[in-house]
Structure 1
Amino acid sequence: MTQNDRPITGSLKERDGMYTAILNVYDKTGKRKQKYHALHIPVKGNKRKAQAALDELIRNYESPEIKNERAKKESPLFADFLLEWLELTAPTIERTTYESYKSLITARLDGFFRLRKLRLDELAPKHIRELHQSIFADGCNANTVIHYHAVVRKALQYAVKNDLVTENVADKVDRPKKSKYLAGFYSKDELSKLFDATKDDSMAAVIQLAAYYGLRRSEVLGIRWSSIDFDRGTISINHKVTEGKVDGKTKIFAEDKLKTKSSFRTLPLIPAMRELLFKQKKKQSEYRALFKSSYCQDFEDYVCVDEMGMLFRPNYVTDHFKLLLRQHKLRPIRFHDLRHSCASLLLSQGIPMKQIQDWLGHSTFATTADIYSHLDFNSKQESAEAIASAFAPEEEPEENAEEEQGFSMTLSM
């Protein structure tokens, strides 16, 4: 360390009720020089503010070498910063979003950045590109890369906002183009086979409600008897059931909070569903009488419960659905694809995309169109007929028979 690289020190002095900063600066020979700066900060009640101003002055006077040394000491490892950012941002985001971020950090980001021992202020665009490449190298698609990139970018946005770094290096890296998602779905015949094969399963109501109404998993599990009006013939989607981990333990969350405002919707009670729900209600009464005190009373208002009155866990629904398909040798699809199957059948019946948006509870028309436009054959057929008509040759009008006869007579004369 050269003489002028010696750490700069400072102190505060009161002058006429105002704070003045005194800096001890060293020249190349090591000689100390004192510099005075009027802070224009009143003494009364402003000690912390004045100290912060003094610290800022000291940083401004430091040599590049000392600044670099200070940065290394103050800037955390990016892997540690990600974990800290996650906990700081937790109160401002949905629990499911928090769980998603946490799983992405735990699964890959923490290990990737910790292995490289990169500090927050050392992060560069090339490191983000290396992250992308490592994800692709593991056989993941562009959508997976986009998810990881989004988490890194959000964390860096927080860092920029709080003056921990000067720029968001993730913005300098192009994200890969999102892969077009083609939803899987069952045909009408396949759904009929599914309903028949699972009619005696405890999850029969879960499966059919999801298929008929195109419900998300959390929505179908959140259906309550109090949300069904048999007299008016309506069913309201206004509650959800999800699960997540708290302190390492899986916990069920039931809440009156759906994905978007548009997810709250009231739909007509389809006759087949009315009959199914009456049977479900009767089953619950029979099981309650059979198991007596052993029957769970906590979820009496819920439609989708097992024989003991316990609410189905979301992950159980996913796993059991896969098992049912294997057992009955049905084509593999995801449980969520029942929602897509509903949309596909509505499109095949000529239902406009806007009405399907309302039925499914999508927040925007664009979301519905982006997912299901490739299935909308009816609109394509109309377009095909329109373009065919536009290019069709015009037919020559037939001449009047009398005029033709008169014309012939004229020629014969």
Structure 2
Amino acid sequence: MPVSIEKRGKDSYRFVVSAGFDSSGKRIRKTKTVKASNMREAKKLAAQFEVEVYSGEYISPEKMLFKAFVEEWKNKYAEEHLSPNTLATYVLHLKNRIIPFFGEVKLEKIKPLHILDFLKSLEEEGLRKDGKKGTLSTSTIEYNHRILKNILNRAVEWQLIKKNPMENIKKPKRIQKETSIYDSTEAELLMNCLQKEEIMWNIMIKIAITTGLRRGELLGLEWKHVNLEKGILQVKQAVTYVNKKHIIREPKTKNSIRTVTLPEALIDELRKYKSTWNKKRLKASDLWEGGEYQFLFTSWNGKPLHPSSVTTWWRRFVYRHKLRYIRFHDLRHTSATLLINSGVHAKIISSRLGHADIRTTMNIYGHALQEADKEATKHFNKLFSNNKTRDLEA
């Protein structure tokens, strides 16, 4: 008996497939309700459902374990809608924490109390995988909450459960750690130390601290994205490394695709670096493996740098020159804070950093903005001092 398709409502279709007879001679029917934009899409999904039933791969919703649904979620949603890097991070958290807790539980049996128990368990000691002592960070707990909610939202959309058990559970509070940055004196010292380094690293760090680009965005920069005549660079792609291969993709948000003005002093250095880069390209000759890409920062044969190699170089550089250690990503925060302290408007800083919303900038750099605001009010003291002088003269 072929699969039957019944329209149940707007964008909703119900499939029925006969799966033979049970021991008492009663016909066994497998049903499934799905969302589809039109009948054509519904027929395609119905055909997949029929194959699953006859091959024995179909699991009734009331019998589906959480870990089985995670595989469905990965195949039918995550691989298409999440970036490879994000998916890899999700899978890591699922493997380490979420599946060990919920894996053997039937999907429809997961209740709000189970979610609360899980989130509470993440506050216990000994769950870190980095070898460090202490509990998980609040951001990691919040991230696990986000992953679990994403998965259960798909279960609701696909009508495997009627309601997401996380619907009324508040997101765990994320405590924003105070950012470690270089002040203007330390930034000048950093620039002096860079003069002793290989030109590729010299230029990379200078771009990082003057533009606020993320590590992946720096690695994704190509020469076609740098206009030395206009003194600008365009952020159009980023490089990540997932499953032992480099992936070139668009930046994390639409606002991350942006144009950033370069300091004049850096433009001449970039011209010299381009000349050095061209010589390296010619020297590699047939061994060059950059293909169609002309990344600014590459290994000797033109391949993109591994993201971790940047972090490793930065750590060694800092210790070698006895600088105060901050993370490589904190160069981005340093860039923003130096601009704030110079009186640059938060909207401009938000645009340079590629934030989707100025509120993101305000949340991250609120303390620095507040300090800059205090400094700004000192300019008004002159008004009062002038008035006080006139009062004395009168």
TM-score, normalization: structure 2? Answer: 0.74
Give deviations 1:229-264, integer Å, cap 9, x for gaps.
Answer: 22222222222212212xxxx111123x22222222
Query: Which residue of structure 2 lines up, in the alignment, with residue 206 of structure 1?
Result: 204
Q: How does 1:18-57 map to 2 (within 5 A)?
A: none
> Is 2:145–2:172's contact at 8 Å kept on the other side of the alignment?
no
Structure 2 residue 64 is the aligned partner of structure 1 residue 76: yes
The structure 2 residue matched to 1:86, chosen from 74, 83, 88, is: 74
Query: Which residue of structure 2 lines up, in the alignment, with residue 191 of structure 1?
Result: 187
Deviation at 1:101, TM superposition (A): 1.7
Structure 2 residue 127 is the aligned partner of structure 1 residue 129: no
The structure 2 residue matched to 1:158, chosen from 151, 154, 175, is: 154
The structure 2 residue matched to 1:314, chosen from 301, 307, 310, is: 307
Q: 1:295 to 1:198 in 2, by over 3 A?
A: farther
> Is 2:61–2:160's contact at 8 Å kept on the other side of the alignment?
no
Query: Which residue of structure 1 lines up, in the alignment, with residue 89 of structure 2?
Result: 100
The structure 2 residue matched to 1:232, chosen from 230, 234, 237, is: 230
Larger Rg: 1
Give deviations 1:306-340, integer Å, cap 9, x for gaps.
Answer: 33333212222123222322333322211111100
Segments of structure 2 that go 5 or more residues without pairing to the other structure are 5-41, 47-58, 126-134
Deviation at 1:124, TM superposition (A): 1.7
Q: 1:268 to 1:261 in 2, by over 3 A?
A: same
Deviation at 1:76, TM superposition (A): 1.7
The structure 1 residue matched to 2:353, chosen from 360, 364, 367, is: 360
Deviation at 1:368, TM superposition (A): 0.6
Q: 1:396 to 1:204 in 2, by over 3 A?
A: closer
The residue identity in structure 2 corresponding to 1:184 is S
- Aligned length, in residue pairs: 326
Q: 1:369 to 1:289 in 2, by over 3 A?
A: same
Task: Write the distance in 1 (CA, Å) between the matches of 2:65 and 2:360.
Answer: 38
Task: Give the fraction of aligned pairs with identical amino acids, expressed as a percent.
Answer: 27
The residue identity in structure 2 corresponding to 1:226 is K
Query: Which residue of structure 2 lines up, in the alignment, with residue 33 of structure 1?
Result: none
Task: Write the distance in 2 (CA, Å) between the matches of 1:395 and 1:280.
Answer: 57
Deviation at 1:371, TM superposition (A): 0.6
Give deviations 1:81-104, integer Å, cap 9, x for gaps.
Answer: 223212221213333332232222
The residue identity in structure 1 corresponding to 2:63 is S
> Is 1:214–1:339's contact at 8 Å kept on the other side of the alignment?
yes
Task: Write the distance in 1 (CA, Å) between the matches of 2:267 and 2:330.
Answer: 23
The structure 2 residue matched to 1:141, chosen from 130, 137, 144, is: 137
The structure 1 residue matched to 2:166, chosen from 136, 145, 170, is: 170
Q: 1:137 to 1:294 in 2, by over 3 A?
A: same
Task: Write the distance in 1 (CA, Å) between the matches of 2:253 and 2:323.
Answer: 33
Structure 2 residue 367 is the aligned partner of structure 1 residue 379: no
Deviation at 1:198, TM superposition (A): 3.8
Task: Write the distance in 2 (CA, Å) between the matches of 1:301 and 1:395.
Answer: 64
Q: How does 1:211-222 map to 2 (within 5 A)?
A: 211-222=209-220
Deviation at 1:386, TM superposition (A): 7.2
Segments of structure 1 that go 5 or more residues without pairing to the other structure are 1-11, 13-47, 53-70, 401-413
The residue identity in structure 2 corresponding to 1:254 is I
The structure 2 residue matched to 1:279, chosen from 252, 256, 272, is: 272
> Is 1:159–1:165's contact at 8 Å kept on the other side of the alignment?
yes
Deviation at 1:112, TM superposition (A): 2.0
